[in-house]
Structure 1
Amino acid sequence: MKPQILIVGAGPTGLVMAYNLARHNISFRIIDRNEGPGQASRAMAILPRTLEFYQQFGFADEVIDRGIKMEDVYVRVKNKIKAKVHLGSLGEGLSPFPFVLTFPQDDHERFLLEKLKNLGIEVEWKTELLSLAEHGEGIKTLLKAQQEETAYFKYICGCDGAHSTVRKQMNIEFKGEKYKQHFYVMDVHGSGEVMKNQKISISFSNEEFLICMPVRSKGTYRMIGIIPSALLDQNDIKAENIQTFLQQTFGAEIENINWFSTYNIHHRVASRFRQGRIFLSGDAAHIHSPAGGQGMNTGIGDAINLSWKLAAVLQRKAALSILDTYEEERLPFAELLVNTTDRAFKRMVARDKTSQFFRKHIFPPVLSFLFRFPYPRHKAFTILSQIRIKYRNSNLSSGQGTNVQSGDRLPYVEGNFESLQSLNWQIHVYGTAAQKLKKSMREKGFSLHEFSWNPYMKKAGLQKDALYVIRPDGYIGFISSEQRIELLYQYLNTHKILPFTNE
């Protein structure tokens, strides 16, 4: 079958895009200019919402087995613990995965490549996009591997990173700025208080900032921090310089350095995520600070959101207009990250006296106090985990609920996420579904899942006997409190929604 989509870039975003398209039997090519998958650990954190997506794919447990669960965060000031946060208690009952997982990006990419290979999909390495242009009802591209090739596709997904060729070819503005500070990242073997008990450690001294977390095998740690002021004038900062600084400032005894790099951090968001038949996802569309591990996970969320919509349109299972909802759903969240997480990170790493006072004397005690109470704990988890992402203003969200609204992620209650592995539209009723509704959905080919009502459902915000239309990505598309079938049909007909398969 002739490829309908070109995916440019085989990092986590492009690989997840490819996997979901393959699961929906969409033909595509995926190219990357590099010789093979990355060799460095780079992005580390896999957040609960990403694990929920991987549960839909059927391989969340495999990922968890290969990674390290991070259930605790310690905040240290001048090597003394000032706050402890247990992540497991933060997300208890909110997600089947109430923790952060560390899984090095190179291992992560190889895992996804393995899954694609099982589906008969191979990345075309050492292949780059030279040019692209709208051509009738598709895109004309010029690709280069060993030789140049002209190829035509219906859609292009630019997942090719911060220096995206796709974005530059389309002249899409990449708004934002660079942080003033220069940063280092290193993977090490060592010991010391900041490398103890397989915890995430956030440490502050007067001007300095350090994040330390375990990676891979026991005794290997990722360290991220600001290059000390005293070293900024050096043209070539070496790992040994940082090693000495870490020992003197944070008591870190580093025995072996596996990887070291210095870099600048930007926060930027593309002015558009879509231009005609061309889409941007992941770092090609937005880049963020490393705070909270939001960047890579946001890219994976982009890939999930776009891939099922492309599949639905190409299979004529939804109206062409649903592609408009990709940008209207994903761009606002990328901008929200800049205004929240990135802004907070800027405050945490600033070297002025006010910021120093805040992170040493205000942040730890306030964190300890707030996290004694259930509401702040749960609120923090929804933000960190990305389960708070909502699409309430999307044209694909309709109908009124009580606490839970259309456009929200389907709240987790025991047993209700298993059916999402179909990657298909489905109907949920928490309570009793009317026989007329059951018969109607059976005739239309939509699966209907009826869950016996219990108090946990009310606590999760679900409404007894309401009808919920669940999208293939696990978000609520439509709600009817009274199971009104005519309104359900109106929603389905407006967007020309058909199930991917007759279940």
Structure 2
Amino acid sequence: MNRSDVLIVGAGPTGLVLALWLSKLGIRVRILDKASTPGTTSRALAVQARTLELYRQLDLSQTVVQNGHKVPAVNLWVKGEPVARLPFEDIGKDLTPYSFLEIFPQDQHERLLIERLEQLGVVVERDTELTGFTEHGGSITAQLLLPDGQEHTCQTCYLAGCDGARSTVRKALDIGFPGGTYQQVFYVADVEASGPALNGELHADLDEADFLAVFPLAGEGRARLIGTVRDERAEQAETLRFEDVSSRAIEHLKIQVHKVNWFSTYRVHHRVADTFRFGRAFLLGDAAHVHSPAGGQGMNTGIGDAINLAWKLAAVLNGAANDKLLDSYEVERMAFARRLVATTDRVFNFVSAEGAMADLIRTRVAPFLLPKMVSFELAREYLFRTVSQITLNYRGMPLSEGHAGHVFGGDRLPWAHDRETDNFNSLTSLNWQVHVYGDTSEEMLAWCAEHHLALHIFDWHPTHEAAGLARNGFYLLRPDSYVAVADLSADPKVIERYFRDHGIKPFLW
């Protein structure tokens, strides 16, 4: 236990996914958390479509979907009446196998990840705290405080800070965390209730005084309420009870609350760390970026960080890539984090701003424009693509090259399926692979066979063209299933040059 390949600090979803992915790739991990038990409250709820796609590689998607709750639509209310409905199932049915918003509470989520990790022989070390670390040569020496109060020293090749917004790792590295805190106070309550807004869909009230969102939970009549705390009550947020918050928005949505199972208040932060990597230490999840919960993006973004970093760390530790590959983690994930903070800022300000003009926009202008917007297929598709994170891409970044059809290097591979074939079936692999839609050359066949690089050839079909894929070209896919190279040729020298230029070897895990 004194030496590991990767020491992971923090056992929330981000740290657990990082540990699980690395362990599946044969990397020795050690994961610790200063909390004595896993979380028992359902903090984060939403599992987006892109996360479910990536979870296929960990054999988690089916379990999450079976044990969670599918949200088929979002409804917007104003002054006690529904004014717009955004149906996910219709919008995303040709874009992803997961054309819905999945509600899977964080406490259940963590238990599932812990269980899968234990099956691989890795146990979270509880009541264990990182107190300091130093980097020297090719490793890090870390100091830990154990449950019995004793100090312990261990060595690791790399350190991953997945330890939240108050990250010990980030503070020890003296990395700036610029941004701020919104003045509004929010409350969250898990309730048992009844009413038209308890129909299994997501509902949001754009009221002139209060904002309220209703997230359905698995089980009849169970929901998560997220609302604003305004006026003088916000000054005593720490001592508020559910009975103290305004009932106006709750009444507008015609909700009858029968029982409150959990209640808390919080302020929303928006910050991005100055750097996500310092030597052999990395920041992931809330340790690297925090933002408004608008759109249910937070946990999913942290999981995306973990998957992005995991395959790169494994490649370096397995000798299949040089350390330079790890620089791409910050480049790719920081760009997305900054864009996400800016986007959620705009949404947050729309729903929470106060004043006559803000009230006018929310209660008069928005009810008029939103139904018209969602009546257009392109607008509905844009909203779904954005919230589901399937448009997240690494275009124009160091590991992304070329384009073929409408697909560029750095893009998520588009989903293309018919009754007989599904191009996502091969994406359960943790390997590099090549996709061809149509025909390819004898040279490509021979090169991929010689280098043990999986080659999947799909007979050309109209669904491929509809998805934006090019005929007879190729797509080199990274281990996280993003497109590394898109090229119209059938020349394996393009792939060979890519691996050589980036110091990567094609390999099987």
TM-score scaled by length of structure 2: 0.96
Indicate if the aligned counterparts of 1:466 and 1:483 stay in contact, CA closer than 8 A. yes
Tell me the distance in 2 between the aligned counterparts of 1:43 and 1:114.
Answer: 19
SS at match of 2:325: helix
Q: 1:186 is paired with a residue of what secondary structure?
A: strand
How far apart are the structure 1 equivalents of 2:233 and 2:252? 14
* Distance apart, 1:496 and its partner CA: 2.9
For 1:428, the equivalent position in structure 2 comes to: 435
Does residue 471 of the first structure (1) align with residue 486 of the second (2)?
Answer: no
Aligned positions of 1:166-315 closer than 5 A: 166-195=169-198, 197-229=199-231, 231-234=233-236, 236-242=239-245, 244-245=247-248, 247-315=250-318
Q: Aligned pair 1:36/2:34, yes or no?
A: no
Shift of 1:43: 0.4
Using a 3 Å threshold, how does the CA distance of structure 1 residues 305 and 249 change in structure 2: closer, same or farther? Answer: same
Structure 2 residue identity aligned to 1:72: A
1:153 is aligned, of 144, 156, 160, to 156
Q: Which runs of 5+ in 1 are unaligned?
A: none
Q: Does the CA-based 8 Å contact 2:499-2:506 persist in structure 1?
A: no
Q: Return 242-251 or 456-465, whichever deviates more.
A: 242-251
Partner of 1:382: 385
1:233/1:302 CA distance change after superposition, 3 Å: closer
Structure 1 CA distance for aligned equivalents of residues 367 and 89 of structure 2: 19
Could you list the runs of 5+ residues in structure 2 that have no partner in the other structure? none
Determine if contact 2:85/2:374 at 8 Å carries over to the other structure.
no
Shift of 1:4: 0.9
Give the aligned residue type for 1:85. Answer: L
- 1:52–1:496 CA distance, 2 compared to 1 (3 A): same
Q: Which amino acid aligns with 2:495?
A: L
Is contact 1:7-1:158 (8 Å) kept? yes
Report whether the alignment pairs 1:455 with 2:456: no
Distance (Å, rounded) in 2 between the aligned partners of 1:244 and 1:411: 44
After superposition, residues 95-106 of structure 1 pair within 5 angstroms as 95-106=96-107
Percent identity of equivalent pairs: 43
Say yes or no: does 1:393 pair with 2:400: no
Say if 2:165 is the partner of 1:142.
Answer: no
Question: Any idea what SS the aligned residue of 2:372 has?
Answer: helix
Q: 2:374 aligns with which of 348, 367, 371?
A: 371
Query: Structure 1 residues 103, 315: CA separation in 2 closer, same or farther (over 3 Å shift)?
Result: same
Q: Give the C-alpha shift of residue 88 in structure 1.
A: 1.0
1:57 is aligned to: 58
State the 1:350 CA deviation. Answer: 0.6
Q: Which position in structure 2 is the counterpart of 1:411?
A: 414
2:29·2:122 contact (CA, 8 Å) conserved in 1?
no
Shift of 1:230: 5.1
C-alpha contact 1:41 1:104 (8 A) present in aligned 2: yes
Alpha-carbon distance, 1:466 to partner: 0.8
Q: 1:113 to 1:500 in 2, by over 3 A?
A: farther
Deviations 1:361-405 (A, max 9, x none): 222332221222222222111101001111112211122333110
Distance 2:463 2:175 in 1: 46
2:496 is aligned, of 476, 484, 489, to 489
CA pair 247-443 structure 1, distance change in 2 beyond 3 A: closer
CA drift at 1:228 = 3.1
Give the Å deviation of 1:174: 0.6
> Aligned partners of 2:236 and 2:315: how far apart in 1?
54
Asked whether the 8 Å contact 1:243–1:254 carries over to 2, the reply is: no
Give the Cα separation in 1 of the matches to 2:69 and 2:368.
28
Separation in 2 of the partners of 1:468 and 1:190?
Answer: 49
Alpha-carbon distance, 1:340 to partner: 1.2
CA contact (8 A) 2:210 2:248 kept: no
- What is the alpha-carbon distance in structure 2 between the residues aligned to residue 400 and residue 49 of structure 1? 21
Picking from 322, 334, 343, the partner of 2:325 is: 322
1:250 Cα deviation after fit: 4.1
Aligned residues: 501
Query: 2: distance between equivalents of 1:247 and 1:419?
Result: 46
**Which residue does the alignment assign to 1:444?**
451
User: How big is the shift at 1:247?
Assistant: 4.8
Matches of 2:264 and 2:168 in 1, distance apart? Answer: 24
- Counterparts of 1:89-100 in structure 2 under 5 Å? 89-100=90-101
Once residues 244 and 410 of structure 1 are traced to their aligned partners in structure 2, the CA distance between those partners, rounded to angstroms, is: 46
Q: Do 1:426 and 1:446's aligned partners in 2 also have CA atoms closer than 8 Å?
A: yes
Q: Distance in 1 between matches of 2:252 and 2:485?
A: 54
Separation in 2, partners of 1:402, 1:470:
16
1:340 and 2:347 correspond = no
In structure 1, how many angstroms separate the alpha carbons of the residues matched to 2:209 and 2:83? 17
Cα displacement (A) at 1:234: 4.2
Structure 1 partner of 2:70: 69
CA RMSD of aligned residues (A): 1.5
Deviations along 1:282-330, one digit per CA (max 9) or x if unpaired, are 0000011111100110000000000010000000112321101000000
CA apart distance, 1:251? 3.3
Q: Are the equivalent residues in 2 in contact too, given 1:16–1:300 (CA < 8 A)?
A: yes
Deviations 1:177-211 (A, max 9, x none): 1111011000000112332x111000122121000
- Shift in Å, 1:165: 0.3
* Contact persistence 1:79–1:193 (CA under 8 A): no
Deviations 1:48-85 (A, max 9, x none): 00000111222211110110000111100111011011
TM value normalised by structure 1: 0.97
Deviations, residues 395-448 of structure 1 (Å, cap 9, x unaligned): 111223331100111111121111111111001101112122111110011010
